[in-house]
Structure 1
Amino acid sequence: MSGAIHLPLPVGELVALPGEVLVAVGENRSGLAGVAQHVVDHIVSGPRDAAVWASIGRRRGLVPGADVAQNVFMGRERRRRWGPLRWGIDERATRAEAAELLAALGSAVSPLEPAEAIGEFDRIAVELARALAREAVLVALDEPTADLGPGDAVRMQAALAEVRRRGVAVVVFSERPRAALAMGDRVVVVRDGAVVGEHSRGEWEGPGVGGVERMRNTVLREMVARPELSVPSSPPARSVEDGELLAVSGWTVGDPVDPSRELVHDVGFSVRAGEVLGIAGLRDSGASPLLLSLYGHSEGTFRAGRIEVGGREVDTSSVEKAIAAGLFLVATNPPRYRVRFIGGIAMPVSASSLPRLARMGLVDRDSDTDPGDGLGGRLMGAVRSMNRGGAQADQLLGLLREFPASERRVLLLDDPSHGLDTAQRAELHRGIERIRDAGKSVVFTSDDLIELYAVSDRILVMADGRITGTLDTSTPLDPLTLATLLAPH
């Protein structure tokens, strides 16, 4: 194909075409991150002749202390001219051209705005404008709509369409099938580090086709259709004590900034003593906000719900009360948000602080409110926050060893195997087994169904903040059934 850009992968390749948005989609443990990193490494160090390739990640790639225009034309500033001579930076021309590029991408941010003060949509728009200013022929983006609200997500789709219109090849990596279909002219599905499916826009748009919802289900089936899940396992018989140790009913949690949106909607479940309950879901399914909100209302705005521990209703509205009720939470990465306050100052705040700040009228609701880097939530020595690294893994595994003899009765684990190696993950599973054998309950979230099947007695599936079904881990799993449960309503 003329002008095609071949991006080698560990297995196979991606072929990006000029004037096209190609989206590679896969679930969290599909190897998509490795594919994305392989492409980025190739962009950074691979052969490209005179062409310019650009990579835009989820971490901020702007230079703090410089304004928007300076970031757009960094190293390519417009110069004053006098005949054939050029000298000094023409700041007026630099700002005017930056404003023109940003306007074409749908951003109204001022070229004079400090880079560290702009929101997430404008940040990506500035990086796209920089790529266009350098006449890039390829732009790769990692989850460009992941941290955007619905309105900004639509604006981002329009921005990518503008980049495509200028003849640039655009490659996007995403874990969200719906977003992939909204952005892409072509969608490829990645599983276990290889491309296992490919679809063009004509398959889900136009007369005589099944539409977006049918294609999304097809993509989901390709994402999760692992042969390991089709083979019935023979787990050892597990003794589960009679009686519910934890019961949750009518649990509803709102978005801390957008009152019209719910992170968790009318969720109810129970866990018996000596039982391990897994919660499966793709990103944004609501599984993590569910656990964090149960524990001290550490994420979102509590709206309704009831919790019982040992048959007695308890108050878990603060971390101290949750601990007193017998709950304990381990979160690998409690959310921290970057918000813009009234007056234009942007800074990170914890998830538990957002509702209070919003009620005080300090948060600019028209700007981005997106999860950023760092640890948040109400830690207070109670929410154990784990990031990747040996010390944190040792801390987690040590906590699991101590938990059976502690006074706590229910352990909530939010994606506990994130960042663990194979040996550490095996020790994690043994620790969960010991807690269950001690007659206590474990509830843990993961997007790795193989892990959930190996450890859990039952699995709840969540999508769009709702429980969509329950899986019995003693029976084989049909990928079509799983795709239906994972698909948001």
Structure 2
Amino acid sequence: MTSNILEMRNITKTFPGVKALQDVSLEVKRGEIHAICGENGAGKSTLMKVLSGVYPAGSYEGEIHFEDEPVEFKNINDSESLGIVIIHQELALSPFLSIAENIFLGNERQKNGWIDWNATNLEAAALLARVGLRDNPITKITEIGVGKQQLVEIAKALSKRVKLLILDEPTAALNDEDSAHLLDLILQLKEQGITSIIISHKLNEIKRIADSVTIIRDGKTVETLEVAANTISEERIIKGMVGRDLDNRYPDHTPHIGEEVLRIEDWTVHHPTDHSRVVIHGANLNVRRGEIVGIAGLMGAGRTELAMSVFGRTYGSNITGKVFKDGKEIRTHSVSEAVKNGIAYATEDRKRYGLNLIDDIKRNVSGSALGKLATWGWVDANQEFVVAEGYRKSMNIKSPTVAAITGKLSGGNQQKVVLSKWMFADPDVLILDEPTRGIDVGAKYEIYTIINTLAAEGKGIIVISSELPELLGICDRIYTLSEGTITADVPRAEATPELLMQYMTQEKE
């Protein structure tokens, strides 16, 4: 028996017009945590879908050996029967079923042809205990947060007697506390003999838990590094991912700040259903042309709620306060009013609210400003194509055509489509909510460059981010938000992580 639990040899996978994988090889040792790194679109998820049978044998070239035996999977059930379980970035839980029902969905505990609910709930409780959850197994998925849902997915994998657990961006949507708990759990599973493959863009997490790191670039294996050999640094991984050194992760930014473009005064927002609860307390902020302004706050501080309430009152109730554009008070009571007055908002959840994933790039780009393409009420399809093609090239959207379905793009390229959509609308103020969430360092640099370009054109930019280094790296000023209250307005020259955190945790008086 070899020391490897998995060997993938010369895997090549082709889609129409695109070679997603080319002679990729991967070796994973028994009992290790093996990380896979690469830019968005490098082929990481495609490789794991080949391994798990999502892309069945015959749809790719190459060989897979698991536990020293050649294997060919026709579907995901084949791989799971051998103990290979994949947890996708988009969680596959049924929201209206209970935790226990989700864990054993398709793998029901039965007695005399009927589901044995006592056995189901008892086994589910034992599995939840293994992953550190104390919730009642009959609790519906809709009643627990994303962090706990991720743990339910792992409990579901354990119910299938998992030997090799594949986690695709497991902490992308989690806060710091939930992320730390999940990483600790992966380490505990390693102690129990379970091998894990983790795909992640968070290099600090990889350095913390991984034993080995394989880097994939442009559908090809670049190298595999051993953590124990002390050969791994974030800079080394980045160079392998993007093919070049990123001496500075943030592009140079020379401010060209002009007159005030947006001012919000005494902005108060109540919860959409619990009208007695105040979510935003008398917020005051302003943005000038050419200025990049950050909003920093812990989870639940009200950052997204503030942005959405300003953008067409898409969040909240009993909203009071005033919005001024170029010194004149404006109405933003609907999305159309906000857009008409030159305000745009790129949501943190691009898949749910920012894009139509089943439509093509062309229609997603044009969707925010169809009136610019209309003649006598009809959209000029040729001009629509020309506009989208221009953004595909200028934004470096990795797709052979603007007719490609947006949902098939990588996260970084989807985010570029979101930005293209709002750039086409030509707003004066652009609010970017977590603009680099879930995308790799190379794509992040491109997004930062786009933000700088927009600011240089005289746009007022507001950036909401959970990553303090990001705000410190790109912003001219940073507002801090704590429990729905703006606690400070910090110039870039004075901002430090420690100072921002002090204001972010400041309690209301």
Whether 2:393 is the aligned partner of 1:393: answer no
Deviation at 1:54, TM superposition (A): 0.9
What secondary structure is seen at the aligned counterpart in 2 of 1:374? helix
- For the structure 1 residues 398 and 108, does the alpha-carbon distance in structure 2 shift closer, same or farther, using more than 3 Å as the test? closer
Whether 2:49 is the aligned partner of 1:40: answer yes
Note the residue ranges of structure 1 that are not aligned, 5 or more in a row: 81-85, 231-240, 337-372, 376-384, 406-414, 472-484
Whether 2:285 is the aligned partner of 1:271: answer no
Whether 2:335 is the aligned partner of 1:326: answer no
1:365-380 pair list within 5 angstroms = 374-375=352-353
CA distance in 2, matches of 1:315, 1:216: 46
The one-letter code matched in structure 1 to 2:341 is G
The one-letter code matched in structure 1 to 2:37 is V
Instruction: Give the corresponding residue for 1:476.
Output: none
Deviation at 1:156, TM superposition (A): 1.3
The one-letter code matched in structure 2 to 1:15 is E
- For the structure 1 residues 38 and 221, does the alpha-carbon distance in structure 2 shift closer, same or farther, using more than 3 Å as the test? closer
Whether 2:299 is the aligned partner of 1:295: answer no
Deviation at 1:389, TM superposition (A): 4.3
CA distance in 2, matches of 1:218, 1:266: 43
- The Cα offsets for residues 114-159 of structure 1, whole Å up to 9 and x where unpaired, read as 4554433333333322322322221112222222233322221232
- For the structure 1 residues 429 and 109, does the alpha-carbon distance in structure 2 shift closer, same or farther, using more than 3 Å as the test? closer
- For the structure 1 residues 454 and 391, does the alpha-carbon distance in structure 2 shift closer, same or farther, using more than 3 Å as the test? closer
Instruction: Give the corresponding residue for 1:101.
Output: 127
Contact 1:247 1:309 in 2 (8 A): yes
CA distance in 2, matches of 1:163, 1:291: 40
The one-letter code matched in structure 2 to 1:271 is R
Contact 1:462 1:468 in 2 (8 A): no
The TM-score with structure 2 as length reference comes to 0.54
What secondary structure is seen at the aligned counterpart in 2 of 1:13? strand
CA distance in 2, matches of 1:96, 1:242: 62
CA distance in 1, matches of 2:183, 2:90: 19
Instruction: Give the corresponding residue for 1:174.
Output: 200
Instruction: Give the corresponding residue for 2:29.
Output: 17
Q: CA RMSD in A?
A: 5.9
What secondary structure is seen at the aligned counterpart in 2 of 1:387? coil
Deviation at 1:167, TM superposition (A): 1.8
- The Cα offsets for residues 65-85 of structure 1, whole Å up to 9 and x where unpaired, read as 6543344344555566xxxxx
Contact 2:311 2:344 in 1 (8 A): yes
What secondary structure is seen at the aligned counterpart in 2 of 1:110? coil
- For the structure 1 residues 442 and 115, does the alpha-carbon distance in structure 2 shift closer, same or farther, using more than 3 Å as the test? closer
1:251-270 pair list within 5 angstroms = 270=288
Deviation at 1:103, TM superposition (A): 0.5
Deviation at 1:468, TM superposition (A): 2.8
What secondary structure is seen at the aligned counterpart in 1 of 2:4? coil
1:59-74 pair list within 5 angstroms = 59-63=90-94, 66-74=97-105
CA distance in 2, matches of 1:36, 1:443: 31
Whether 2:5 is the aligned partner of 1:4: answer yes
CA distance in 2, matches of 1:309, 1:397: 25
Deviation at 1:14, TM superposition (A): 3.0
Deviation at 1:15, TM superposition (A): 2.5
The one-letter code matched in structure 1 to 2:311 is Y
Contact 1:316 1:325 in 2 (8 A): no
The one-letter code matched in structure 1 to 2:7 is H
Contact 1:191 1:223 in 2 (8 A): yes
CA distance in 2, matches of 1:173, 1:138: 14
Instruction: Give the corresponding residue for 1:133.
Output: 159
- For the structure 1 residues 165 and 321, does the alpha-carbon distance in structure 2 shift closer, same or farther, using more than 3 Å as the test? same
1:171-210 pair list within 5 angstroms = 171-196=197-222, 198-202=224-228
- For the structure 1 residues 394 and 92, does the alpha-carbon distance in structure 2 shift closer, same or farther, using more than 3 Å as the test? closer
Contact 1:138 1:170 in 2 (8 A): yes
What secondary structure is seen at the aligned counterpart in 1 of 2:366? helix
CA distance in 2, matches of 1:297, 1:117: 26
Deviation at 1:25, TM superposition (A): 3.3
The one-letter code matched in structure 2 to 1:59 is E
Contact 1:249 1:266 in 2 (8 A): yes
Contact 1:6 1:15 in 2 (8 A): yes
1:85-484 pair list within 5 angstroms = 90-196=116-222, 198-202=224-228, 215-216=233-234, 218-220=236-238, 222-224=240-242, 226=244, 243-244=258-259, 246=261, 270-271=288-289, 295-296=311-312, 309-310=325-326, 312=327, 318-319=333-334, 323=338, 326-329=341-344, 331=346, 335=349, 374-375=352-353, 385-390=354-359, 393-394=362-363, 396-397=365-366, 399-400=368-369, 402=371, 421-424=399-402, 441=428, 443=430, 448=443, 449-450=445-446, 456=453, 464=466, 467-469=471-473
Contact 2:366 2:424 in 1 (8 A): no
- For the structure 1 residues 122 and 469, does the alpha-carbon distance in structure 2 shift closer, same or farther, using more than 3 Å as the test? closer
What secondary structure is seen at the aligned counterpart in 1 of 2:82? coil
Contact 1:25 1:188 in 2 (8 A): yes
Contact 2:37 2:200 in 1 (8 A): yes
CA distance in 2, matches of 1:156, 1:171: 14
Contact 2:292 2:474 in 1 (8 A): no
- For the structure 1 residues 35 and 323, does the alpha-carbon distance in structure 2 shift closer, same or farther, using more than 3 Å as the test? same
Deviation at 1:5, TM superposition (A): 0.8
The TM-score with structure 1 as length reference comes to 0.56
Contact 2:364 2:421 in 1 (8 A): no
What secondary structure is seen at the aligned counterpart in 2 of 1:155? helix
Instruction: Give the corresponding residue for 1:410.
Output: none
